[in-house]
Amino acid sequence: MRGSCMEPKEAFCMQQAKEKFKMDQNTNLEELPEGAFESVSFERINIRNSALKTIHPSALLSSAETLSMLEIFSSHIESFPFDVLPRLTSLKVLILPLNRFASVPPLQSGSLEELFLMRNTILRLEEDGWATPKLRKLILDGNPFSEFPSDVVNGLERLEEFSCAECNLGPNLPSGFIKSRSESLKVVNLAWNKIVKLEPGAITGVGPNTNVDLRHNNIAVLPKESFQSILQVLSRGNGILNVNSFSSEEGKSAGNAIPCDCEAEWLANNRLFKSIGGKCQNGSEFQKFRWDELECLQPCPYSCVHVSFYPLCKPETVILSKREGCRTEELCCQPNSPSVSASTTTTPRPTGPRGCEEPHEFLNGFVRKSCSGVVTSARGEVDSGISTDCIRDGKYVPGSTVEYKCDDHYVIRGSRVRICTESGKWTGHVPFCDPACSPPPNLECGKRRLVTGLSAGGKPSSLGEWPWQAAIYDVDKKLIVCGGALIRKQWVLTAAHCIAYGSSSRPRPQNDFRVYLGKHYRNDSLDDDFVQHTQVSTIVSSKDFNIHNFDSDIALLKLAEPVRLTDRVQLICIPKNLQITENNLKDGNIGTVAAWGLSSLDVLSEELTQIQIPVVANNICRRDLIYLPDKPDTFRTLTVNQFCAGQNTNISETEFQTVCPGDSGSPMVFYSKTLDLWHIEGIVSHHLGKKECSKRAGGEYGIFTRVYRYVEWIETVIG
């Protein structure tokens, strides 16, 4: 049969030769069935851009002794017969990117050398029993890991290249995160992971020629205790610690913003800066920066005394060089006795609690403060807001982080991120907001022009009551399937799962959808001249969207053309002020959701209907969800990127309101009396309760995407 075309058991065409089997762009084949290749064996199998979902083990075992490379690229594989790997005795390269794996069992292969699992939806690798002694290359980029496979990586004694870029590993890498045993390690790639801080010992086992890639993270300082040991090893060879985040096109930082200042002065010791790739915050290259020209003052370990009292100092403690905190006419020393100290010391060394003072006032913008001790999810995300855990004895503990962002029409000058150091100082430079330009016309948001009051909850809204409400219309289903919110003339915010394929995280083609604005009735025949509709030109889902727990369930739709702002079509304000958001999302505060989803009778609403429901604090929501019948683990899916809203068990059946199927993507909005504006704080994501709307009751809450956590992403996408 060599050189001939094999007669398949299914209706698909294959090119076949003993050396190679290749199939591309086949959207009909969903299975490689039992005995698909009969007795024919191959050295290489390449399947790309297919609809393949399952593979029978026998389809691979016909090549058990000959197959050296297997590639299944951009298909629909959700499970793979990994258990046959021990029998594929010649397999060296396994390539499975852009499929739909959520987890990978312990692999066992005595021949496998290269494994590629990029761009799946892998949350974890099962570690117990993993045995791939010859594995040299492990590529895991673009998977939303909830648990990093440290034991797998650290146990690979022949590993040469490891990459887990865009794996959602931040903000902190703990000690022992990577503790490689390989003497051949050449590449460790952890770029684009929102990493803020490395604990001491986070990355060990690198060699003199290893390239450690930390580009495009959120690192704002290089603490000596975390990076010195890495750089000392790299300085013995040609290895590089790459922290570059500068855009070659725009010439500005796109992540790491590390100042070349006195906090990093230790890099000049033994010229360790020569092993750092990238640029400082000011655009200077680490390797070319004039470290010798820094004028850095060390703190005085004793007391600052006037030079006239020099004879009263203990000779072995005298420091004549300028020290931090000492005036020009003072020197640093330890006086002979406490009484001498009391009478001669002019500037004693502070002895108060260790930490940083309150950051300076920041006008025309907002501040987010957090610390490494506040972790509220398994993925290690730091919850937004100001935590009292960050403050001890009136000062921010070392490691506390302050992030700054300016309001619209202002540009930030100075450091975007500052971290409290052990010396009691904030890193970076004091930021401020500089006016950029006048606000563009016709971009006023959060105003309702036709309505001054609120309709009753659970009832049809008034015409034009929610002028930012968008209807997402599925062209194939000929149905309004979700809601959305107009945030710019050409951009609608919605839920990522609304525009994704089935149980996948991948967005469908933009031609599958149309968007209606100013719409009130579901039936198109009732639309008047004020209803606008347009095609979708671009769909952008959050790259962190996880279909399994609906984390980062948010997407942007770019309209084919800008809409006209009228009394019936207006913009909703996105939340940019942390204090307003925290106030809106306090436990018990009431927000409004309008949508065309199912009613209490489980039939689609014919008019835009609204409900008013209270926010439920996440800790209360988790507590109540534990008691949901038949769903004891659902409370674990709640992340810091989400919040709950709904009514508790005390509500009567006649007063009960809730979000229902078909409401997804619709905004949950709040009114600010101070600003006289409406803001979108949530997007309807999913519901942890009974599937049928008519059977839901108090204590079964809706889960909403927390929009504030994605403002930076939104502004990056829409420009």
> Could you tell me if 560 and 536 are in contact, meaning their C-beta atoms sit under 8 angstroms apart?
yes
Predicted pLDDT of residue 392: 78
Q: Looking at the domain assignment, is residue 454 inside a domain?
A: no
Reading phi first (left if > 0) and then psi (alpha if -120 to 50, else beta), residue 417 is in: beta
Burial string for 251-284 (b: 16+ CB within 10 Å, else e) reads eebebbbbbbbbbbebbeeeebbebbbbbbbeee
**Is 577 in the same domain as 668?**
yes
Which among 246, 272, 295 is the end of a domain?
Answer: 246
Which residue in the block uniquely carries the two structure tokens 């801080």?
A: 197
- Please report, for residues 141, 145, 151, 380, 608, the alpha-carbon distance to residue 124 in angstroms, rounded to integers and kept in the order given: 13, 6, 12, 14, 41
Dihedral, CA of residue 396, residue 615, residue 692 and residue 549, to nearest 10: -10
- Say if residues 401 and 417 touch (Cβ distance below 8 Å): yes
Q: According to the model, what pLDDT value does residue 18 have?
A: 57
Whether residue 219 sits in one domain with residue 166: yes
Nearest to 210 by CA among 177, 233, 178: 233
Higher pLDDT, 474 or 424: 474
What phi-psi label fits residue 483: left (phi over 0), alpha (psi between -120 and 50 degrees) or beta?
beta
Q: Do both 410 and 477 map to the same domain? A: no
CA distance 287 to 274: 5
Nearest to 569 by CA among 408, 708, 409, 442: 442
Q: How confident is the model at residue 296 (pLDDT cuts 50, 70, 90)?
A: low
For residue 504, being part of any structural domain is answered with yes
Task: Give 398 or 342, the one with higher predicted confidence.
Answer: 398
Place of tokens 């959207």: 27
Q: Is the dihedral of CA 223, 225, 229, 232 positive or negative?
A: positive
Region for residue 393 given its phi and psi (left: phi exceeds 0; alpha: psi -120 to 50; beta: otherwise): left
Q: Domain check: are 411 and 560 in the same one?
A: no
Give the active site residue among 216, 497, 686, 687: 497
Residues whose CB falls within 8 Å of the CB of residue 176, separated by 6 or more in sequence, listed in order: 150, 201, 202, 204
The band of 321, judged by pLDDT with boundaries at 50, 70 and 90, is: low
Choice between 379 and 85, residue whose per-residue pLDDT is larger: 85
User: Residue 316 burial (CB < 10 Å; 0-12/13-18/19+)?
Assistant: exposed
Instruction: Clarify whether residues 121 and 64 are in a common domain.
Output: yes
Identity of the highest mean pLDDT range in 47-56, 91-100, 240-249, 447-456: 91-100
| pLDDT tier, 693 (very low <50, low <70, confident <90, very high otherwise) | confident
Which of the two residues, 26 and 307, has the higher pLDDT score? 26
Task: Pick the more confident residue, 626 or 73.
Answer: 73
Has residue 150 been placed in a domain? yes
Kindly state whether residues 416 and 513 are assigned to the same domain: no
Residue 628: band (very low, low, confident or very high) from pLDDT cuts 50, 70, 90: low
pLDDT at 337: 63
Q: Does some domain include residue 129?
A: yes
* DSSP SS3 for 512: helix
516 compared with 435, residue with greater pLDDT = 516
Most confident option among 352-366, 620-634, 652-666:
652-666
Looking at residue 199, its pLDDT comes to 92
417: CATH: 2.10.70.10
Whether 336 is covered by a domain: the verdict is no
Task: Specify if 524 maps to a domain.
Answer: yes
CATH of the domain at 132: 3.80.10.10
In this predicted structure, the answer to whether residue 630 has a pLDDT above a threshold of 80 is: no
The pLDDT score that the predictor gives to residue 635 is 46
On the question of pLDDT at 142 being above 90, the answer is yes
Q: 650 and 591 in one domain?
A: yes
At 632 the pLDDT is: 43
| 656 pLDDT higher than 60 | yes
Domain boundary among 246, 273, 288: 246
Contact 253, 246 (CB under 8 A): yes
541: pLDDT strictly greater than 70:
yes
> Catalytic residue among 664, 666, 679, 687, which?
664
pLDDT for the residue numbered 629: 59
Sign of CA dihedral 241, 247, 253, 259: positive
Q: Both 545 and 412 in a single domain?
A: no
Percentage, residues of the chain above pLDDT 90: 41
Tell me how far apart the alpha carbons of residues 418 and 281 are, in angstroms, rounded to a whole number. 12
The answer to which of 145-159, 238-252, 479-493 has the lowest mean pLDDT is 238-252
* Residue in the block written with tokens 């500089």: 434
Q: What pLDDT shows up at residue 38?
A: 79
pLDDT above 90: residue 654: no
pTM of the model: 0.47
Nearest alpha-carbon partner for 408 in 667, 671, 177, 719 = 719
What is the C-alpha separation between 523 and 526, in angstroms, rounded?
6
Spatial separation of the C-alpha atoms in residues 100 and 501, rounded to whole Å: 12
Q: Is 80 within the bounds of a domain?
A: yes
Cα(305)–Cα(308) distance, integer angstroms: 8
Same domain, 645 and 543: yes
Distance CA 291, CA 271 (A): 9
Query: Pick from 213, 246, 279: which residue ends a domain?
Result: 246
Residues 463 and 557 in one domain: yes
pLDDT above 90 for 459 = no
Rounded CA separation 50/23 (Å): 8
Residues 167, 31: one domain? yes
What is the spatial distance between Cα 491 and Cα 607, in angstroms, rounded to a whole number? 23
Provide CB contacts within 8 A for 516, sequence distance 6+.
Answer: 470, 471, 473, 480, 527, 531, 532, 533
Largest distance between two CA atoms of the chain:
102
Q: Tokens 């942390």: give the residue.
A: 578
pLDDT at residue 631 tops 60: no
pLDDT of 14 above 50: no
Number of domains in the chain: 3
Whether 423 and 539 share a structural domain: no
Question: What distance in Å separates the CA atoms of residue 415 and residue 253, rounded to the nearest whole number?
Answer: 11
The half-sphere exposure of 632 on its side-chain side, counting CA atoms within 13 A, is 0
Q: Identify each DSSP E strand in 495-573 by its residue range.
A: 513-517, 532-541, 555-559
Task: Report the CATH number that the domain containing residue 554 is assigned in CATH.
Answer: 2.40.10.10
> What's the pLDDT at 389?
60
334, part of any domain: no
Percent of the chain whose pLDDT exceeds 70: 82
Known catalytic membership, residue 527: no
Q: Cβ distance 536 to 497 under 8 Å?
A: no
Specify whether 664 is catalytic. yes
Distance in Å from the first CA to the final CA of the chain: 57
Q: What is the pLDDT of residue 70?
A: 95
- Domain containing residue 421: 396-435
Contact 82, 59 (CB under 8 A): no
Q: Where residue 455 falls among pLDDT bands split at 50, 70, 90?
A: very low
- 224 pLDDT above the threshold of 80: yes
Which of 141, 213, 553, 624 is labelled catalytic?
A: 553
Among residues 263, 267, 295, 302, the alpha carbon closest in space to that of 422 is found at 263
